[in-house]
Chains A and B, each alone.
Chain A
Amino acid sequence: MKKKLIAVPYYVWAAVFIVVPLLMIAYSAFTDTQGNFTLDNIVQIGKYWPVMLRSVLYALVATVCCLVLGYLLAYFMAQQSERTKTLLMILLMLPMWINFVLRTQAMQDLLDLLQNWLRLADIPLQVSNNPFAVVLGLIYNYLPFMVLPIYTSLEKLDRRVIEAAEDLGANRFNVFRKVILPLTMPGIGSGVIMVFVPTISTFVISEKLGGAKHNLIGNVIQEQFLQVYNPNVGAAISLVMLVLILFILIIFSALDEETKEGLL
C-alpha cells in the first residue's frame, strides 16, 4: 500500500509530461489544420526517407565509435587506482558541466579555425562543416553516456571470476571474450541505447557542425515547427521516428539476448 503511494507523484508526472504530450503528437499527426482526420501527413513523410536513412546511418556510426572508444576507456579506467579513477572520472564529466549548445558552438569555432590553418598550409583536407564534423560532434558529446554504464558494470565484475578463468587455462583474449564481455553486456546495452537514441534525433549538432547542409531528421522536424509552420507534418515525423526507434531498440534487445545465450 505504502509503496503504491510513493509512486503517485511519478504517475502524475508521467501523465502530465509524457502521456498527454504523446497523445497530442498522435492527434496532430492524424489531423489537418482544421482538425479533420487525414493520413496525408503520414504519406508526406515519404519524401524525407533519404534524411531518415542518413540520420540512422550517422547515429549507427557514432554509436559504434562510442562503443569501441568508450569500452577501451572504461576498461582502462576500471584498472586504475582509486585516486586515478576519481581523476579520470572528473576529466570525463567536466565538459558536461558546460552547456551542450555552448560546447557545440565552441567546437564549430575550433574546427573552422583548424580548417583555416589547413587551407593556409595548402592541405586539401576537409574537417569542418561536413559529415565528418557532425559525427565527430556526436561522438564527443555522447561518449560519456557510453563510458559510464560500461564502467559501472566493469566495476561490479567479480575479480575472482576472471582469476578462475585464468586458472582454468583461458588466455587473455578468451578471458575477455568469454567472461568479461558477456558480464558487461548489460552496461553495453544501456550505453548503446543512451547514445543511439539522442544521436538519431539531434538537430543542434548537425546545424552547427554540418553548416546546416547535412540535415538530419531532427532538423526536418524543427523546420516543420519553426520555419515552414506545418506542425501536423512535424508531429507525424516525430511519431514515425518514435516507432522507428522503438523498433530498433527491440532489435537491439533481441540481439542482446542472443549474444548472451550464444556466449554463456
Chain B
Amino acid sequence: MNRTKRLVALALAAILLLLPLSGCKQYAPNEVLYVYNWGEYMDETVNELFEQETGIKIIYKIYDNNESMYAVVKNAPGTYDVVFPSDYMVGRMIAEEMLEPINFENVPNFQYIMDDFKNLDYDAGNRYSVPYTWGMVGLLYNTKIVKETPKSWDALWDEQYKGRILMYNNSRDTLGISLLRNGCSLNTTSEAELRVANDALIKQKDLLQAYVSDDIFGKMESGSAALCPAYGGDAISMMGENPDLACVFPEEGTNRFIDCVCIVKDAPNKEAAEKYINFLCRQDIAELNRDFTAYSTPQQQVYDALPEEIKNDPIAYPKAEVIQKSEVYDHLPQETLELYNSLWNDLKNK
C-alpha cells in the first residue's frame, strides 16, 4: 500500500512538472526567436512579416525600462535572444559580459546606419550593438497653462505649477535633469555634485504631481499635468494627440539617447537574431517602425525618404547647435551607480 502511494505521488509530481511544457506547438530551437523590447516600440506587423519571410517563430515580450530588462536578463541569461538597451545600458551590459558580439557579416544592412551613430563611446569598436532609434529629452508643456515658453529646466521647479509637474520614475533621467539645471555633466562621478542635485530634487518633490513612466501619456494628453521632461519621440506622439502641447530643449542642454538592438550572451538562436537585426535595418521595415514610434532614425536612407516637414521638425531632428549642447549617458562606475541608488532611496523613501 505504501508503495502504491509513493508511486501515485511520484506520478502526480511528474505530471505537475510536465504541465508547463505541454499545450503549445513544439518548435525546434532554431525555429524560435525570443525578442524583448520596450512597450509601444515596434510596429507589430514587422514581426509577422519576419515570420512569413523566414519561417522563424517570434516570441515577443515587452518591458518598460532599461533597469527591469537588465534584471530579467541578469537573472535568466539565455532566455532571450534580442534586447533593446539604451546607450548607457549597452555599456553596462558589455562591461558585465552580458552581450554577445554581433557577426556583422550577417548584418549587411548595417551599412545604412549613419556614421555619426557608429563607434560611440558605449560600444567603442562597435562590436555589440546596432542603433535602432535616437532622440533628445525635451521639456514638454501645455501652452494653455504655461503661457510663457520655458527656457530653462528651472520651469520644473516653478511654484506656480505646483501639483502639475511630472518627473521620470527612474534615477538616471531624474537626477540627470537636476544635474543639467546646476550646470553639471550628466556623467559626473562627483559625489558633491550629485548630492546637491539630489537635494534640489528633494525640494522639488512637494511641487510634483507624480513620478511617472508610461502614465506620462495619459496625464499630459488629458491636461491633468502641465509640464514634464519627455523623450523626443514620446513628446511628438503626445503633441499629435493634444494640440495644446509644445516642446522645447532648455538652454542648459539635454540628454541625447541612442536605443540599440543587441544579442544577449549565450543566446539560444544567435543566427536568427542576426537575421532579425538585419531585417530591422532594411529600409521598408525601418520605415514601418519609424512611422509607428515617431522616434528619430539613425538610418541614412530612411531619413532621406522622410517628408520635408518631418526632416525639419525641430524636436525629431534638432539643429546642430542643439545637438552639440546635448550629452549621451555613459556607463557609470560601480561606486557611482551605488551612490545613485542611495540618493534615489533618500528621494523616494524619506
Measured CB to CB, the residues of A under 8 A from B are 1, 4-5, 8-9, 11-13, 16, 47-48, 50-51, 108-109, 112-113, 115-116, 119, 126, 128-129, 207-208, 211-213, 215, 219-220, 223, 225-231
Interface string of B216-232 (1 = CB under 8 A from A): 00110011100000000
State whether A16 and B74 are in contact (beta carbons under 8 Å apart), knowing that A8-B9, A212-B212, A213-B208 are contacts in the complex.
Answer: no
How many angstroms between the C-alpha atoms of A236 and B287 in the bound complex? 47
Check B12 against A9 for contact (C-beta < 8 Å). yes
- B interface, by DSSP: helix, strand, loop or mixed? helix
A243 to chain B minimum Cβ distance, whole angstroms, is 20
By Cβ-Cβ distance, the 3 closest A-B pairs, closest first, are A211-B210, A212-B211, A112-B224
Residue of B nearest to A109 (CB): B218
| Interface residue from B9, B218, B341 paired with A12 (Cβ < 8 Å) | B9
Considering the chains assembled together, what is the distance between the CA atoms of A128 and B223 in angstroms? Answer: 14
CB-CB under 8 A from A9, the residues of chain B are 12, 16
Please report whether the interface of chain A is mostly helix, strand, loop or mixed according to DSSP.
Answer: helix
Closest to B206 in A: A213
Chain B positions near chain A (C-beta within 8 angstroms): 1, 5, 8-9, 12-13, 16-17, 65, 67-68, 70-71, 74-75, 163, 169-171, 205, 208-212, 215, 218-219, 222-224, 341, 344-345, 348-350
Closest to A230 in B: B341
Give min CB distance, B72 to chain A, whole Å: 8
A5 touches B5 (CB 8 A): yes
Inter-subunit contact A220/B222 (CB<8 Å): no
- Whether A228 and B67, one on each chain, are in contact in the complex, defined by CB atoms closer than 8 angstroms, is yes
Q: Which residue of B lies closest to A212 (CB)?
A: B211
Q: In whole angstroms, how far apart are the Cα atoms of A5 and B344 in the complex?
A: 52
Selected from A48, A115, A231, the residue in CB contact (under 8 A) with B349 is: A48
Name the residue in B1, B9, B171, B344 with the highest tally of chain A Cβ atoms < 10 Å from its Cβ: B9
Are A47 and B345 in contact (CB-based, < 8 A)? yes
A220 to B16, Cβ gap below 8 A? no
CB<8 Å pairs between A and B, sample of 6: A50-B349, A112-B219, A113-B224, A213-B208, A223-B348, A228-B341
Contacts A227-B67, A227-B170 given; does A115 touch B224 at CB 8 Å: yes
CB distance from A25 to the nearest CB of B (A): 14
Q: Which of B1, B65, B209, B345 contacts A129 (CB 8 A)?
A: B209
Shortest Cβ distance from A134 into chain B, in angstroms? 12
For the complex, give the distance between the alpha carbons of A16 and B210 in Å.
39
Chain B residues, Cβ within 8 Å of A48: 349
Please measure, in the bound complex, the distance between the C-alpha atom of A9 and the C-alpha atom of B5, giving whole angstroms: 12
Of B12, B74, B344, the residue contacting A229 (CB under 8 A) is: B74
Contact status A212-B349, CB under 8 Å: no
> What's the nearest-Cβ distance from chain B to residue A192, in Å?
27
A233 to chain B, nearest CB (A): 10
Q: A208-B215, A230-B341 are in contact. List 11 more A-B contacts (CB 8 A).
A: A8-B8, A12-B12, A109-B218, A112-B219, A116-B223, A129-B209, A211-B209, A213-B208, A213-B210, A213-B211, A228-B341
